Amino acid sequence: MLRSWIQKATAHRKLRLWLERGDGLAYFMLAPALLMIALVLLIPLVYSLLLSLYDFNPLRPHMKEFKGLGNYMTVFTDPVSRESLYHTLYFAGVSVLLELVLGTLIALLLNLSFRGNRLMRTFILMPMMIAQVVAALSWLLLFHSEAGVLNYVIELLGGPKQVWLGTELAMVSVILVEVWQHTPFVTLIVLAGLQGLPKEVMEAASVDGANAWRKFWTITLPLIKPILLVALVFRTMFTLRVFTPVWVLTGGGPANSTLVAGVDIYRTAFRYHDFGMATSLSWILIIVTAIITLGYMYLLRRETIS
């Protein structure tokens, strides 16, 4: 009895010692996080890789058939999937470019000191913090072709009413909502960067008689280039995976004119019940995102080292 008690105590002590010294406690505290990541994120990821090699319909689970890379081949030959990949790159490219230009311009403006500056900074946070569903719904009201505010303003200015979510303009409209919601992100981090710039350099340039335009191109822009690259990395990563605003505004239509990869994945899986195709599309999205992001990160690293 006594012996077993002693044994227990030392075992407990050993455990405590292990927890107190070395990496025991460290790994013990990390375990829940790593476990969650492994179970909920990595296992589904691997599972989706497996699914992408099969012809699998969840409504007929027993008819699973191995296809190898067949689904991937189909993605690259099927006109609709190819179109969705092209739309994704187009959407991301145009949105990110506009966000960077507009975001930087607004940041330069807010970097000036004037009354109401703080209020303005709060205002521009608003689109970024609201839900993507809410953003899309707000614009849905504005886009309405009969009673929407946008067409009302255009009519006031003497133009013809537009069908904003029709085949021709749907992509433009979806990009507009994306740019509206995420330009503030660029503004915010560029503004933080601008405020970290050395004041002496800017003052010295003013004394030397450089005008604002030249000062921006020769001093400010090179100095904030790393920050712009950070914004570029983040915005590209997030626009490539866009789903919610497009889903709510157009559902990928009309006539697939706004079909981006995110919507394509969702539609293929849950409307056409083709999990094999949906997961291969997913993996192509992952690979494209990784290549582009890592490319930018390489540029960023070179930029910050030199």
Partner 1 sequence: MRGAAQWRKAGLGALLFAGNLAIVLFMAFPILWVILTSLKNSVDVFAYPPKLLFTPTLDNYAKLLTEGLTGETEGSILRPFLNSTAATLISTTLAMTVACLGGYSLARLRPRWSGALLLFILGVRMLPPIVLVVPTFQIMNSLGLMDTLIAIIVPYTALSIPLAIWMMHSFFIDLPKELEEAAIVDGSTRFGAFWRVILPLAAPGLAATAIFSFILAWNDLEFALPLTTFKATTLPVIASRVRAEEGILWGQLGAVASLMTIPVVIFTFAVQKHIVKALTAGVGK
Residue 223 sits in the site that holds partner 1 (CB under 8 A): no
Span from 65-73, 81-89, 201-209, 270-278 in contact with partner 1 (CB under 8 A) = 270-278
Q: Closer to partner 1 at the Cβ: 85 or 278?
A: 278
**Given candidates 88, 175, 180, 194, which one binds partner 1 under the rule CB under 8 A?**
180
Rounded-to-integer distance, Cα 293 and Cα 299, Å: 10
- One residue of 215, 243, 254, 303 binding partner 1 per CB under 8 A: 243
Q: Does 197 bind partner 1 (CB under 8 A)?
A: no
Residue 233 lies near partner 1 (rule: CB under 8 A) = yes
The DSSP-derived string for the chain is -HHHHHHHHHHHHHHHHHHHSTTHHHHHHHHHHHHHIIIIIIHHHHHHHHHTTEE--TTSGGG-EE-TTHHHHHHHH-HHHHHHHHHHHHHHHHHHHHHHHHHHHHHHHHHS--TTHHHHHHHHHHHHHS-HHHHHHHHHHHH-TTT-HHHHHHHHTTPPP--TTSTTTHHHHHHHHHHHHHHHHHHHHHHHHHHTS-HHHHHHHHHTT--HHHHIIIIIHHHHHHHHHHHHHHHHHHHHT--HHHHHHTTT-STTTT--HHHHHHHHHHTS--HHHHHHHHHHHHHHHHHHHHHHHHHHHHHHH-
The answer to the question of residue 283 lying near partner 1 (CB under 8 A) is yes
Least separation in angstroms between residue 4's CB and partner 1 is 26
> Is 134 among the residues that bind partner 1 (CB under 8 A)?
yes
Rule CB under 8 A: say whether 225 interacts with partner 1: no
Q: Report the alpha-carbon distance of residue 140 to residue 220 in Å, rounded.
A: 38
**Is 269 one of the binding residues for partner 1 (CB under 8 A)?**
yes
Q: Taking CB under 8 A as the rule, does residue 157 contact partner 1?
A: no
Select the residue interacting with partner 1 from 53, 92, 135, 171 (CB under 8 A). Answer: 135
Q: Work out how close the CB of 169 gets to partner 1 at its nearest, in angstroms, rounded to a whole number.
A: 16
Nearer to partner 1, 1 or 16 (CB): 16
- Enumerate residues 85-124 that contact partner 1 by CB under 8 A: 106, 109, 112, 114, 116, 120, 122-124
Question: Minimal distance in Å, beta carbon 188 to partner 1?
Answer: 6
Q: In the window 37-66, what residues touch partner 1 (CB under 8 A)?
A: 37, 39-45, 47-48, 51, 58
In angstroms, what is the minimal distance from the CB of 294 to partner 1?
A: 9
